[in-house]
Amino acid sequence: MDFQDTAIRIPHSRPTLGPEERRAVDEVLRSGQVAMGPEVAAFEREMARAVGVEHAVATGSGTAALAFALAGLSAGPGTEVIVPAYVCPAVANAVLWAGATPVPADVDPETGCMDMEDAMARKTDKTRAVVAVHLFGRPVDPAAYKALSVPVVEDCAQAVGAVVNNRPVGSLSHAAVFSFYATKMLCTGEGGMVLTPDETVARKARAMRESDVPPSPEGRYNAKMTDVAAAMGRAQLRKLPGFVEARRRLAHDFGRAFSGLDAAILPDAPGHVFYRFVLKVPGDADEAVARIQARGASAELPVPEPLHMALGLPDYPGARSCRKHFVSIPIYPSLSRRETKAVVKAVKEALG
Ligand SMILES: Cc1ncc(COP(=O)(O)O)c(C=O)c1O
C-alpha cells in the first residue's frame, strides 16, 4: 500500500498491548477488587526490585508522582525548583502543585538536556530541589546535578529501563518519578510512581495520594492507581527488556537510513532506551513536520512549547533552538516492518 495515496497515517505514538495485558486485566475484573489493592502493592514491589530502590509509591499519574516527591523533599510554598526549560508543561505543573515556583534553566541545543552552568546561575537561597529529566529516554548522570547542592529528583517519565553507569535510572538520586501514560515506555493508561530510598519521602507520597482521610496542610489528593491499571503495568514490566531491545533496533535502523541526510540524529548515550527518536533539522521543525505528515507518517515537535514560553519568561537561546529544530518521528515496539519502511521513506523524501 502506498501511504502517499491514502489517508492512512502512521501514528506518532502507540501503546504495545497484547493478550498478557488483557488476561491480567480480566483477572482483576473477575476478582471484583478493582480499586487500589494487591495488584498495586505487587506492582510497587516489582518496580522497586527492578530499579533497585527500597520504597515505591504508585500514583494516578507521573505529574502527581513528581508533585508528591517534591513535597516530600519540602519543596513547597516559598521555595524554588530548577527544571529544564525544554520539557513538557507537566513538569512545571507538578512543581506548582507542590506549592513551589518552577525556575527553568536553559538547555544544551544539541541534546535538550539542562545546561548546568545556566542552572548554577539560577540557584538562589530559595532553591530546594532540581529535576533531572532523562529526556527522550537518553539517560543523564544525576551526579552532575549534585553540584547544585540541593536534592535531585530524577524524572524517569520517558526512560524506564534506561541505565547510567551500569545502574538503572531512578536509583541514583533522592527520589525518582515515573509515568505510565498510554504511550510511555510502560503503559497503564494513566499512572505514575515515586521511587525513593528515603522513607520520609515515601511516607508523604503515600499520605498525599489519599483523600478519604483527615485533612492536612500538606494536601490530601485522591491520586491513587487502580488495580486494573497496576495489572496492566505488571504485564508490561515483564515485557520491558523486549520493548527496549525493539526500540534500540529501530533506532539503529533509522540511524543507518538517515545517515546521508542533512538532519542530525541527536547524540546517543550508553543505556539509551529511545522513547523518542529525534532529528535536528537545519531548517524549521514546523515545516519539516508538515512535509513528513504529508507523506503519511505522523512526525511531531517533541516539546511544542518550552517552559520559558509557557511561563512568559524572556528568551532561552538553547530551548528556543531545540523548539525550532527538533523533530520526533514514530518509534515504538508495535511499529511493524512495513510501517518502519514507510516512516523511513517519508522522512527521506521530506528531508532529503
Ligand atoms: C518528562 C515528563 N515528566 C512528567 C510527565 C508527566 O507524566 P503524566 O503524563 O503521567 O502525568 C511526562 C509526561 O507527560 C513527561 O514526559
The verdict on 221 and 329 lying in the same domain is no
Same-domain check for residues 175 and 249 = no
**Statement to judge: residues 247 and 154 lie in one domain:** no
Is the domain of 181 the same as that of 283? no
CATH code at 192? 3.40.640.10
Q: Rounded distance, CA 52 to CA 80, Å? A: 29
Same-domain status, 280 and 137: no
Q: What is the mean pLDDT of each run of 10 residues along the chain (352 residues)?
A: 52 96 98 97 98 98 98 98 98 98 98 98 98 98 95 98 97 97 98 98 97 90 98 98 98 96 94 98 97 95 98 97 98 96 96 90
Q: Under a CB-based contact definition with an 8 Å cutoff, are residues 310 and 16 in contact?
A: no
CA–centroid distance, residue 91 to ligand 1 (Å):
7
CA diameter of the chain: 62
Residue 302, phi then psi, degrees to nearest 5:
-65, -35
Q: What is the structure's pLDDT at 1?
A: 38
Is 2 part of a structural domain of the chain? no
Q: Provide the pLDDT for residue 288.
A: 97
Neighbours of 73 (CB within 10 A): 25
Q: How far is CA 96 from the centre of its chain?
A: 18
221 φ/ψ angles, rounded to the nearest 5 degrees? -125, 145
**Chosen domain end from 234, 254, 278:** 234
The grid coordinates of residue 327 equal 523533530
pLDDT tens digits, one per residue of 9-41: 899 999 999 999 999 999 999 999 999 999 999
Atom of ligand 1 nearest to the CA of 180: 10
Distance 94 CA to ligand 1 centre (A): 9
Calculate how far, in angstroms, residue 28's C-alpha sits from the geometric centre of ligand 1: 26
Task: Please tell me the residue having the least CA distance from ligand 1 atom 2.
Answer: 157
Number of domains in the chain: 2
Q: What is the model's pLDDT at position 126? A: 98
- In terms of domains, do 162 and 94 share one? yes
Question: Which residue from 93, 134, 181, 328 has its CB within 8 A of the most atoms of ligand 1, so it is best to mutate?
Answer: 181
Atom of ligand 1 nearest to the CA of 192: 10
Residue 1 lies in a domain: no
Owning domain of residue 341: 241-351
248 belongs to a structural domain: yes
Predicted structure pTM score? 0.96
Name the nearest CA neighbour of 327 among 260, 265, 261: 265
Can you tell me the distance from the alpha carbon of 290 to that of 283, in angstroms, rounded to the nearest whole number? 12
Closest ligand 1 atom number to CA of residue 63: 11
Q: Which residues line ligand 1 (CB under 6 A)?
A: 61-63, 66, 87-88, 90-91, 133, 155, 157-158, 179, 181, 192
Please indicate, yes or no, whether residues 249 and 342 belong to a single structural domain of this protein: yes
Which of 234, 266, 297 delimits the end of a domain?
A: 234
The domain boundary residue, chosen from 191, 217, 234: 234
Are 171 and 35 contained in the same domain?
Answer: yes
